[in-house]
Amino acid sequence: EINSAQMKAMLDVNVVGLVLCASKSANSMLRRGVDDGHIININSLGGHRVTGALNFYSGTKFAVTAITEGLRKELVAKSRIRVTVMG
């Protein structure tokens, strides 16, 4: 069982933190003219497989994959910066 405070903390770390770090990194690379950078987002098995006891956690990890794919598509139009998810 997970309460709302635990859900918020998990979202903040696994999703919001990832978005803030990845977008700041991408913007910094673009601003400095880095055209061959690489952003690597770390995921876990929870982003590939859902178990009943960890369904909320898995949801945040599925979000890591979606955010990574979205950022990759956004950056491919304007640079050669690579975006990868590992885990």
The residues that are catalytic are: 57
Q: Between vectors from CA 56 to CA 54 and to CA 61, what angle results, nearest 5°?
A: 90
Question: Burial level of 74, CB count in 10 A (0-12/13-18/19+)?
Answer: middle
Question: What count of Cα atoms within 13 Å lies in the side-chain half-sphere of residue 69?
Answer: 6
In this structure, the number of other CB atoms found within 10 A of the CB of residue 52 comes to: 6
